[in-house]
Amino acid sequence: MDKTVIIDQTFGGERPLFAIRDTRLENVTIDEGESGIKCCQDIEVNHCRFIGKYPLWHVDRSLVTDCFFEVGSRSAIWYSNDMTMRDCVIDAPKFFREMQGLVVENVQLNDADETFWKVKDLKLRNVSLHEGTYPFMFCEDIDVDGLKSDSKYVFQYVKNAVIRNAHIVTKDAFWETENVTIYDSFLDGEYLGWHSKNLRLVRCHIGGEQPLCYIDGITLEDCTFDAACDRAFEDSTNINATIRGTITEIKNPVSGRIVAEKIGKVTLDEHLKQPACCEIVEG
């Protein structure tokens, strides 16, 4: 069946395109109002402008390309499955929630506050996030290649993620995660990875205070640390870490093995949990 095509039109008010199917929108403006495109299926949206709030809710099987979402389009895309978005700019917060099967490529989010919540089967390619807090809360099955973010508290409570080529400057990143692997990335944030399980970092550079504490299962392969990274590995178990260069301080690791080219200080005090059996090797 050929798609219905809507070109060069403006729609406003409440639910103007409710329940449309097999439709392509080209150079359309969704103006002020609410729920412009809702409860729809098999939709293509190209070179469109979104102004009103909640414009794409309960939309299944969609392709969104070369679109601009203004500040007023907050909470724009929720409860929508099997969506691909490419080459878009988003100025509004609270995007992408309660979704499954989401691909985002070459997209810039200028207010990433509370964005990507409870998304399962998420694929990101060349995405940038700016400002805001808690993006990626409770997401599962994540595949990332190319991410730049200065948002705070990223990737909290996520499960089953592979992240490559990321540049993340943040606070308290990757807390309470499970089965996360990060390759070839720059991670700068206080308290990285706390209370996580099965966290693996490969050829990553780590910045910020007191990283990698209270973790069960932490693997580092050829990683480097900033000088500010003190009190690393406190109360962590099942450590398998190979560190290039210097690590400033290792504090109270419980079990496993840490090998570093140079260690500034090892702190083992009365708070070290027993039975402590972590091997620490310099050289």
Residue 206 lies in a domain: yes
**pTM surpassing 0.85?**
yes
Residue 41 lies in a domain: no
Which band of pLDDT confidence, cut at 50, 70 and 90, is reported for residue 235?
Answer: very high
Dihedrals φ, ψ of 73, to 5°?
Answer: -90, 30
Residue 3 lies in a domain: no
pLDDT at 160: 98
pLDDT at 191: 95
Residue 20 lies in a domain: no
- How many folded domains does the chain comprise? 1
Structure tokens at 75: 């909470």
Query: How far is residue 26 from each of residues 44, 45, 70, measured CA to CA in Å?
Result: 8, 6, 17
* Domain that includes residue 172, residue range: 47-282
Residue 66, C-beta contacts closer than 8 angstroms, at least 6 positions apart: 46, 47, 86, 87, 88
State yes or no: pLDDT of 1 exceeds 70.
no
Residue 188 lies in a domain: yes
Residue 52, C-beta contacts closer than 8 angstroms, at least 6 positions apart: 12, 30, 31, 32, 33, 34, 36, 72, 73
Give tens-digit pLDDT for 246-279.
999 999 999 999 999 999 999 999 999 998 999 9
**What CATH code is carried by the domain that includes residue 251?**
2.160.20.10
3 state DSSP class of 20: coil
The span from the CA of 205 to the CA of 195, in Å, is 20
State yes or no: pLDDT of 77 exceeds 70.
yes
How confident is the prediction for the chain on average, in pLDDT? 97
Q: For the chain, give the number of residues.
A: 283
pLDDT at 17: 97
pLDDT at 283: 86
Which band of pLDDT confidence, cut at 50, 70 and 90, is reported for residue 2?
Answer: confident
Closest CA to 186 of 200, 167, 173: 167
Residue 40 lies in a domain: no
Residue 13 lies in a domain: no
Residue 57 lies in a domain: yes
Give tens-digit pLDDT for 7-38.
999 999 999 999 999 999 999 999 999 999 99
Q: What is the mean pLDDT of residues 173-199?
A: 97
Percentage of the chain exceeding pLDDT 90: 98
DSSP code, position 3: P
